[in-house]
Structure formats: structure tokens, C-alpha cells
Amino acid sequence: MPKFIGLIGYPLKHSISPYFQQAVLDYYQLDIRYEAWETSPENLELVVAKIREPQNLGANVTVPYKEAVLPLLDEIDDLANLIGAVNTIAKKDDRLTGFNTDAYGFIEALYKEGHFEPEGKQVVLIGAGGAARAVSFALVQKKISSLSVINRTFERAKALADSLKSYIRDFPLHSEGLETEVTALPWESLSSGKTFDRCELIVNCTTIGTKYSSQEGQSPLSIKVIPRGILVYDLVYNPWSTPLLQVAQEAGANILGGLAMLVYQGAASFELWTGREAPIDIMFNKAKEISHLKV
Ligand code: NAP
């Protein structure tokens, strides 16, 4: 009898995780099926409870349920608790534990595909949702020197900046007192070149530019504000080349799309479910193949 791992989210029509996860399960010849479990809000509790059935091993959780699943689980790992979002559920001894592998995926892709060392760098982060929380805590833990958080809803940017500041105060990372300086800025700052004056990394953690969404074809930044030579990292992975990345490339910036992060976070999830090392190349090749087919 096969075992199952699910992807819980809504909508899931354009998701590529089922393809690259199945590719590595097949590589190891495991009798496990990775399925898309498209879930409406009223069914979330039921779908999470089904993971407890013996044939199911766990799940990935995606938009819009990364925060909503927390109270439905038995345990939350420390990092997921800090971030306040779960993207992976693993079952052990009939108990469901929530993890967040987005932070790991973001950093792995930054080093391995972006060839960028974050320590001591000045960063502008656009967005304040679940992904922005994972990315910002990961960057602070990597000792960036400053972080400006800019979000359409300013209160959310402020709330994220406040939780980062409390974290920095409670868990100092530097012995010399050189802690990350965190600021929340209004949305209008995105159109001012001054915001990016000394910036070395821009990360887009909003949904702007996502294919098949109302923001398809849009970029959060114009060419005139992006400094030459910096790294622009867009978490959006569909399309492969987002409007922001196109604008950034024209401005002379280096670019990194969200597909690499998706693969690395998926690799960490795979290891939590199976205890086996995920072959990154197999995942990457399948993710690239499918994302090109889907655009
Ligand atoms: P989320 O919690 O729903 O947050 C969405 C963010 O986008 C919020 O900051 C929201 O601002 C902003 N936003 C939405 N529509 C906007 C608009 N029209 N104009 C300006 N801002 C807008 O979602 P999430 O989980 O953080 O995901 C954010 C993005 O990251 C998604 O595209 C997701 O696919 C991507 N992601 C990629 C990976 C990867 O592995 N590559 C992993 C995780 C997430 P408000 O607060 O004002 O609503």
C-alpha cells in the first residue's frame, strides 16, 4: 500500500511542488505519492486531521494557510514558532509537528545560486506576509547590518519590524553590540531612489508579478530606483522571469528568482518526511522543466 504526502493550499492549479517532490520519491523508489490537496478554508481542519491516518506521512502548506495551521498541530518547532508560519508538517509517533523550511530555502538559494554573503549588508525587503517573516528572521540571523521593511499595509511592516527588534534585543547575535538596524518604511518609499542609496540586496516578498494573478505583469520597482551591481531577489517563481527581474536586469543589477528557494525549501521538507538526503539536481531539473511548461 502506498503512503501519501500532500500539498495543502488554495488554489493549487499552478503549483510545481508535486512534480519535483515526486521526482525524488521515484528516484529513491519509495512507494510514496505526493499529491496536491486543494483545500477550501472550511475544510482545512478536516484535511489536517486526515494526516493522522496511517497512510499519510505529512504535508507541505502553502498560501493562504501557513499561519492558520498552527493551532491544528501538536507541536511547533522553534524556528516556525519564531516566524509564526508553518510550511511543512511531519508526523512522528502519531504526533503532527510544524516546521518552516522557507527560511532555510531562502538562505541556501542566496548563497548557492545568488553567490551573496549577507553578513554586514544593507537590505530592503518588500512585503510583510509569511514569506517576509521567514526571510527577515533568516537575514537577521545572518547578521545583516540594516533592514528596511516596506509593505503596502504599513501596520504590517511596523508589526514585523517590531517583532524583529524584540528578537534582536532578546537574543543578541553580536558580542560587539553591532546589531541589525531595522526600520519600517511607507509604501511610497519604493518610488524614491534615496531608499536604495546604500542598499546591496532587495528582496521582493510580495505576490506582485505572479502569473495568473491580478498583479500579473507588474513590478514593485521601476528601473530608475534600482542601483547597478546590487542583487535583486524575487521570491515569485511563476513566471520564471518576473517583471521585477526584467527591470532589475535592465538596471544592471544581478538577479535571482524564486525557483531556487522553492527547490531548497522542498529539499528540507523531503528530508523531514523521509530522513533521506534530497538530490538537489533532480529536483532542480524537474522544477525548471515544469515551470517552463507551465508558463
Ligand atoms: P502572504 O502572507 O499572503 O503575503 C502577501 C504579501 O504581498 C503581503 O506583504 C501583501 O501586502 C503583499 N501584496 C499582495 N498584493 C499586493 C498588491 N496588489 N500590492 C502590494 N502588495 C501586495 O503571502 P506569502 O506567503 O508571504 O507569499 C508572498 C510571495 O512569496 C508569494 O508570491 C509566494 O508565492 C512567494 N513565496 C515563494 C517561496 C519560494 O520558495 N520561492 C516561498 C514562500 C513564498 P499587504 O500586507 O498590504 O496585504
What is the per-residue pLDDT across 44-58, written as a single tens digit (0 to 9) for each? 999 999 999 999 999
Give me the pLDDT at residue 152, please. 98
45 alpha carbon to ligand 1 midpoint, in Å? 23
Residue 31 contacts by C-beta under 8 Å, 6 or more apart in sequence?
1, 2, 3
In this prediction, residue 14 has a pLDDT band, given cuts at 50, 70 and 90, of confident
**pLDDT score of 295 more than 80:** no
The answer to whether the CB of 242 falls within 8 A of the CB of 233 is no
Across residues 128-152, what is the average pLDDT? 96
- How does the average pLDDT of the chain come out, rounded? 96
Residues 225-276 pLDDT 10s: 999 999 999 999 999 899 999 999 999 999 999 999 999 999 999 999 999 9
- Specify the ligand 1 atom closest to the Cα of 263: 40
Whether residue 286 lies in the annotated active site: no
pLDDT digits (tens, 9 = 90+) for 76-104: 999 999 999 999 999 999 999 999 999 99
Query: What pLDDT is recorded for position 123?
Result: 98
CA of 153 to the centre of ligand 1 (A): 12
Give the three cell numbers for residue 242: 518576473
Task: Indicate which residue of 3, 13, 66, 211 is catalytic.
Answer: 66
Output the nine-digit C-alpha cell for 294. 507551465
36 membership: H or E segment, kind and range:
strand 32-38
Kindly report the protein residue whose alpha carbon is nearest to atom 41 of ligand 1: 258
**CA separation for the pair 224, 110 (Å, rounded):** 24
- Residue 292: the pLDDT is 76
Each residue of 17-40: b (16+ CB within 10 Å) or e? bbbbbbbbbeeeeeebbbebbbbe
Mutate to test the pocket of ligand 1, among 160, 206, 208, 280 (most ligand atoms within 8 A of CB): 206
How do strand 75-76 and strand 95-99 relate by DSSP bridges? Answer: parallel
Separation of CA 271 from chain center: 17
**pLDDT in the model for residue 72:** 98
Walk me through the domains of the chain, giving residue ranges and CATH numbers. 3-100+260-294 (3.40.50.10860), 104-257 (3.40.50.720)
By C-alpha distance, which of 65, 66, 74, 69 is closest to 97? Answer: 74
Characterize the bridge pairing of strands 231-234 and 254-256: parallel
For residue 132, the ligand 1 atom closest to its alpha carbon is 26
Prior bond of 172 cis (ω within 30°): no
Q: With 70 as the cut, is the pLDDT of residue 23 above it?
A: yes
Element (H, E) at 133: helix 130-141
Between 176 and 73, name the one with better pLDDT: 73
Q: What pLDDT is stored for residue 175 in this prediction? A: 67
Angle among Cα 176, 201, 15 to the nearest 5 degrees reads 120
* Closest to 132 measured CA to CA, from 111, 148, 109, 114: 148
Model confidence over 198-214: pLDDT tens digits? 999 999 999 999 998 89
For residues 53 and 91, the answer to whether their CB atoms sit within 8 Å is no
Residue 76 one-letter amino acid: I
- The ligand 1 site (C-beta within 6 Å) comprises 63-64, 66, 102, 105, 127-132, 151-153, 156, 205-208, 210, 215, 235-237, 258, 261-262, 265
Confidence of residue 177 (pLDDT cuts 50, 70, 90): low
Answer yes or no: is pLDDT of 294 > 90. no
For residue 259, the ligand 1 atom closest to its alpha carbon is 41
